[in-house]
Structure 1
Amino acid sequence: MAVPAAPWLLLPFLLLAPSLAAAAVSEADALIAFKSTLSGAGAGASAALANWVPGTSPCSGNRTLWRGVLCDEGGRVLGLQLENMSLSGALTLDPLVDLPALRTLSFKNNSFAGPIPDLAKLGALKMIYLSRNRFSGPIADELFDKMRSLRKVHLSHNAFSGPIPSSVAGLSELGLDDNAFEGAIPDLEQKGLTFVNLSHNQLEGPIPKGLSRFNASMFEGNKNLCGRPLDVSCDITQSQSPRSPAKKKISPTLLVVIIVIGVLALLSIVGLFVFILSSRRRRQLDEANLVHLQSAETKKFDAPEANKVDRGAAEYRGGAAKKAHKEDHGKLSFVREGSQSFGIEDLLRASAEVLGSGNFGSSYKATLFDGPSVVVKRFREMNGVGREDFQEHMRRLGRLSHPNLLPLVAYLYRKEEKLLITDYIPNGSLAHMLHGNRGSNLPPLDWPARLKVIKGVARGLAYLYEELPMLTVPHGHLKSSNVLLDDSFEPILTDYALLPVMNRSHASQVMVAFKSPECAQHGKPSKKSDIWSFGILILEILTGKFPANYLRQGNAGTDLASWVNSVVREEWTGEVFDTAMKGTKNGEGEMLKLLQIGLGCCEADVERRWELGVVLNKIEELRERESDGENSSFDGEGGYSSKGMTEDDFSFSTNN
């Protein structure tokens, strides 16, 4: 029988409850007040933000209840992402001052007009996205001076004018392209600057030396800019400025000479054009011969039953890729600083090897002549956004940098398909090591190696959640075939953050996040769908079982966790662990802890599913060997015996 708590023990909680309720109401009221300042075409903000209802809360933990609101784990408003809502009028930020945890603002692709709002009132902001609106006028030089936490400012495609404010110094990202900024570029030589785009403005003068490391396209469209990386000498620019002396009249003799030179130049151009056409025909014949010689390309394992080898892979070289010569958008765009530059022609001439064919498209290994090996992935179902939004998202991915992420090197945009270029990782995928080397001479992964893989995947996933807070599922397709292993068996995540550019209907059929239990209930993934995918991956690594075998006809809500729960509950043995796993001596207790973590990630109830921060901390605490005093044994033949340990000591709470 429960003993009633003494009234004086409840006093602190009774005093604290009103303040907590007031804080929640205050944030909701602040957002309702902000909504009242918005207007737009048609029904305007009332329709776009219809679920912003007084008396309700915008957040439940880190779960978003109001459209466009990002929440932190404490249930506070972390950001506003009101994009593509046809909002218009002046943007007033005064009501948002009452949101102490606000760190991100994104109002992209609306019709806000007038001067830039007073962002300094929100001094704790870290990221500001106001691109593709109708803002105009100059920006005060000191606007960002007091915003010490500010890292990213994107004001592209507006009508801002005047000089670039010097207070942008210190940012890591700055997008000011397609405006009317004028004058000289301020000193932006800070080492932390990873992205800058000042193209298509009215800037003039030399480009600061510290910006010469960026691509020339970031400065094009400014007639009077000079210096590296532009191929324009500052001496030439100054000589062509409006301040130059008036031109002298051309004499008739000089005019005749100019005409003769022009005719000769025209004849030379015609001859060069004929030469280029003949060379192109010869090159196409060479490529056709090369395709014939390479028709028996090598095939590699990717993942059993999920990814099968594409037997028609030669079409990449002999068919689809040739079209790149005939299109305006047949040029590779590089997003990683310092990467070796090459063209689509270099890929066509490279020796090719088929790696496999997955749900998105085919993958090829291309070994460049006198260069590195790269992986080319073809995506046919990647038309979720237009060309400009696609390019912006690829640049965002190119700026990601973490030891457990495979960096994007370059991409090719074409209407019917996209190519993504990454580095080649020789050891292949985790799926191959777990399922594809049975009966081969390759040794199976031992317990220390599997624990190392899980820790690396957790760190990479946590980095994606930190850098891409605007995405519902920052990875979206986490599975063993998308975890590569380097020479030291360090895991490297690939195919991450692609959901924003995928066709939604195709993504819902094939992406792992859409197999989560919440998709079976509500038809869409949640912020914790990646955590569910990670839990399934943990169970796959521990059990050696392939998850696709436990999905009933590919439906969401039925998974490997159900099988693990049934075995443990009914038999309470080590049958769940992969018998091929070696190096388990004195590590059985840690394996059980990891099994519990995996099941905690697979909770069917999203509210009860573990937070990523909790998962990461618990995984980091795991060791290859259990501490002294823990006494359990795993016989390697499917039998587990616990001494002094009961099922209550190791609770399972999944409801799959």
Structure 2
Amino acid sequence: MTAAQAHLSLCHLLHMILLISSIFHRVNSLENDTLLELKDSLTNGEKLTTWNPSTTPCNGNVPNWEGVLCMNDTVWGIRLEGKDLGGNIDTKIIMNLPSLITISFQNNSLEGEFPVFKRVRRLRSIFLTANKFSREIPMDAFDGMRRLKKLYLANNGFEGRIPSSLTTLPKLRDLLLENNRFEGEIPTFVRDNLTIVNFANNRLRGPIPKRLQNFSKSKFSGNSELCGSPFGECKVEIPTATIIMIALVVVAALAAITVAFIILQLFRPSSTNALQVPPYKKGASTDHDQMEQGCGKAAMVTVNKVDLSVKLTFLKDDTESFDLADLLKASAVVLGGGVFGSSYKTTLSRHKVLVVKRYNQMNNVTQDEFYKHMKKLGKLQHANLVPLIAFYYRKEEKLFLAGYVKNISLAVHLHGSRSEVNRRLDWPTRLKIVKGIARGLLHLYNELPSLITPHGHLKSSNVLLNQEFESLLTDYGLVPITNQEHARDVMIAFKSPEFKNHGRITKKTDVWSLGVLILEIMTGRFPANTFHYSKGGDLELTNFLDSVMKEDVTVDMFDKEIGGFDKNNEGEMLKLLNIGLSCCEPNVDKRWDIKEVVDRIEEVKENSDNDNDNDDD
């Protein structure tokens, strides 16, 4: 290269640097001007005193202006909550913030027309709870917002029908619409991504869509004309009343003749228990698998007197009450027997089906301690937890009553035969299941901060799946009320490295259990100790972890039943597998805490190019 050519190349390089610097400066200047324009458009915007043209909104990842979220000198979010701001959000202004993906104006006094957020299609989160909006939202208000995940509109005065454009959004996960004046029917959502919803205290009517019927009754309360599960059946014309009457007579006869004995069995001391439960194939007890195979087989039952003066204690205010006498009249089938006791599916009516679980390893707990702990568990309410409805206390044994989940457990889906499950679990379904488990576990950590292990017995047979394959955790929060000798023998938390090596459990022990579960989900391998226990059981679980953790992390480790994975999702699947391995870190100090684990799981996508969609699609 000649000196002249070198000089030209250097000049060209300097020119490019100056050009890039100029563009970067113009982008920052545009953000400054845009935010200042937004400030001027809001009533009481002058209270945002740090929004000053003499400074920039961001300094790297650190905001200079209050309520601004920054990354790499760029504004990616606005969070102005409880600032007494009025007026409305002019979306023509915020369109000029190219990296904006979240916006929150909760607890202000915004009013008027619903902002035209579809102009800003890249938004992922919109939080407008507790403002003064009072008009109808256009049906097409969310057209094209393919990335929207969270929409919080509660505690306003919105009127009219729920916008139909919400029903087709591919990533919508949270939808809070309570305490408004929405009317008409709840629309049917095309996807089954919703994990947090609330439609309470509106003017809604008609049937609750099937995909939403697994949410609790409280999420729909205050709408007197809604019907369908979890409320009463919608009124329909029945042309053949005679057939219905015959069916009712048959059901009543079967309940009176064959089923009362099984419920009576629940109240008999465990030392005289003669109920024989067929074992789960592969030699593992089902615990809470909710498998109904073999339920019609004969069971030898010895019946003792039941003390009907002892009442059920209900944990939910919105639960329709019933008593022991109602249980005795109900039909029931044996679901299975596990390390704590037996489980029964009990049908009180066509619209009320419960699971009754019998525990006989809690007799070292005083009645006062037991009641206090159960009240804590009864307050838990989350889309990924099986809610406890009521309990029965007797020193020798306890009964827990919970909602019945129609689908069977994750364990059966992973390890059962094709006759036991309708379909195999593909990658999107497994990712959905893991995220549901993680969200449910995080909720336990947040709501039960005094517990060292908020779950304590996390395993695939204690993860139930509803018809939309959403995860529901069960058998949580039992460590404080379980006889400690029994807990050490059977509960998963006590199989952790920290307990084996140091005789203690920690706040990260449930994270270790989550890691084991993720590895089981992704590899399809069967960690035998999560189902039955013995001295050999500990060895089996250790061998399971060693066999996974010593291998090279490649696609060869994945369960072949996942099927259909390719280069688009291979990276995300490996990412989740590595998260599971990190959760199983033997050194507690190096193991992630629950918040970091959940954050990393939430970042995993179905496809590695999910966020590369064209905003104009």
TM-score of the aligned structures, taking structure 2 as reference length: 0.51
Residues 526 and 302 (structure 1 numbering): CA distance in 2 closer, same or farther, change over 3 Å?
Answer: farther
Partner Cα distance (1:349, 1:453) in 2: 36
In the alignment, what sits opposite 1:291?
Answer: 261
Contact 1:302 1:432 in 2 (8 A): no
In the alignment, what sits opposite 2:340?
Answer: 360
Amino acid at match of 2:307: A
Deviation at 1:442, TM superposition (A): 2.1
Residues 507 and 612 (structure 1 numbering): CA distance in 2 closer, same or farther, change over 3 Å?
Answer: same
In the alignment, what sits opposite 2:555?
Answer: 574
Amino acid at match of 2:509: S
Contact 1:301 1:436 in 2 (8 A): no
Contact 1:539 1:595 in 2 (8 A): yes
**Which residue, 487, 500, 507 being the options, matches 1:507?**
487
Deviation string 1:411-430 (CA, Å, 9 cap, x unpaired) is 00011000000000010111
The answer as to 2:393 corresponding to 1:413 is: yes
Deviation string 1:234-292 (CA, Å, 9 cap, x unpaired) is xxxxxxxxxxxxxxxxxxxxxxxxxxxxxxxxxxxxxxxxxxxxxxxxxxx96788539
Residues 476 and 294 (structure 1 numbering): CA distance in 2 closer, same or farther, change over 3 Å?
Answer: closer
Deviation at 1:337, TM superposition (A): 1.5
Deviation string 1:417-466 (CA, Å, 9 cap, x unpaired) is 00000000010111111111346662210000000000011111111111
In the alignment, what sits opposite 2:139?
Answer: none
Partner Cα distance (2:543, 2:405) in 1: 29
Amino acid at match of 1:594: L
The answer as to 2:342 corresponding to 1:342 is: no
The answer as to 2:303 corresponding to 1:319 is: yes
Partner Cα distance (1:288, 1:535) in 2: 43
Contact 1:364 1:375 in 2 (8 A): yes
In the alignment, what sits opposite 1:595?
Answer: 577
Residues 377 and 312 (structure 1 numbering): CA distance in 2 closer, same or farther, change over 3 Å?
Answer: farther
In the alignment, what sits opposite 1:554?
Answer: 537
Instruction: Note the residue ranges of structure 1 that are not aligned, 5 or more in a row.
Output: 1-212, 214-284, 631-656
In the alignment, what sits opposite 1:607?
Answer: 589
Contact 1:288 1:318 in 2 (8 A): no
Greater RCO between the two (CA within 8 Å, min separation 6)? Answer: 2
Amino acid at match of 1:451: L
Instruction: Note the residue ranges of structure 2 that are not aligned, 5 or more in a row.
Output: 1-220, 222-254, 266-274, 288-293, 613-617
Contact 1:334 1:341 in 2 (8 A): yes
In the alignment, what sits opposite 1:93?
Answer: none
Residues 290 and 503 (structure 1 numbering): CA distance in 2 closer, same or farther, change over 3 Å?
Answer: closer
The alignment partner of 1:534 has SS state of helix
Q: How many aligned residue pairs are there?
A: 341
Q: How does 1:267-278 map to 2 (within 5 A)?
A: none
Partner Cα distance (1:478, 1:407) in 2: 16
Amino acid at match of 1:500: P
The alignment partner of 2:550 has SS state of helix
Contact 1:376 1:420 in 2 (8 A): yes
Residues 384 and 473 (structure 1 numbering): CA distance in 2 closer, same or farther, change over 3 Å?
Answer: farther
Partner Cα distance (1:597, 1:312) in 2: 42
**Which residue, 477, 482, 502 being the options, matches 1:497?**
477
Amino acid at match of 1:306: A
Partner Cα distance (1:316, 1:423) in 2: 27
CA RMSD, aligned part only? 3.6
In the alignment, what sits opposite 1:386?
Answer: 366
In the alignment, what sits opposite 2:424?
Answer: 444
Q: How does 1:123-522 map to 2 (within 5 A)?
A: 290-291=260-261, 304-307=282-285, 319=303, 322-325=305-308, 330-438=310-418, 442-522=422-502
Contact 2:276 2:299 in 1 (8 A): no
Contact 1:300 1:354 in 2 (8 A): no
In the alignment, what sits opposite 1:34?
Answer: none
Partner Cα distance (2:320, 2:413) in 1: 30
Deviation string 1:314-336 (CA, Å, 9 cap, x unpaired) is 8898636x4333xx5x2111011
The alignment partner of 1:378 has SS state of strand
The alignment partner of 1:368 has SS state of strand
TM-score of the aligned structures, taking structure 1 as reference length: 0.48
Partner Cα distance (2:524, 2:415) in 1: 7
Q: How does 1:4-83 map to 2 (within 5 A)?
A: none
Partner Cα distance (1:292, 1:529) in 2: 37
Partner Cα distance (2:300, 2:320) in 1: 22
Identity %: 47
Contact 1:517 1:558 in 2 (8 A): no
Amino acid at match of 2:569: G
Amino acid at match of 1:449: T
Which of structures 1 and 2 has the bigger CA Rg? 1
Contact 1:447 1:624 in 2 (8 A): yes
Residues 303 and 452 (structure 1 numbering): CA distance in 2 closer, same or farther, change over 3 Å?
Answer: farther
**Which residue, 610, 620, 624 being the options, matches 2:606?**
624
Contact 2:555 2:570 in 1 (8 A): no
In the alignment, what sits opposite 2:83?
Answer: none
**Which residue, 543, 548, 567 being the options, matches 1:564?**
548
Residues 440 and 364 (structure 1 numbering): CA distance in 2 closer, same or farther, change over 3 Å?
Answer: closer
The alignment partner of 1:484 has SS state of strand
Residues 543 and 288 (structure 1 numbering): CA distance in 2 closer, same or farther, change over 3 Å?
Answer: closer
Partner Cα distance (2:351, 2:488) in 1: 38
The alignment partner of 2:317 has SS state of coil
Amino acid at match of 1:616: V
Amino acid at match of 2:588: V
Partner Cα distance (2:430, 2:361) in 1: 33
Contact 1:456 1:490 in 2 (8 A): yes
Deviation string 1:284-306 (CA, Å, 9 cap, x unpaired) is x96788539999x9989878533
**Which residue, 489, 495, 504 being the options, matches 1:524?**
504
The alignment partner of 1:558 has SS state of helix
Deviation at 1:598, TM superposition (A): 0.2
Partner Cα distance (1:609, 1:292) in 2: 45
Deviation string 1:21-55 (CA, Å, 9 cap, x unpaired) is xxxxxxxxxxxxxxxxxxxxxxxxxxxxxxxxxxx
Partner Cα distance (2:548, 2:280) in 1: 25
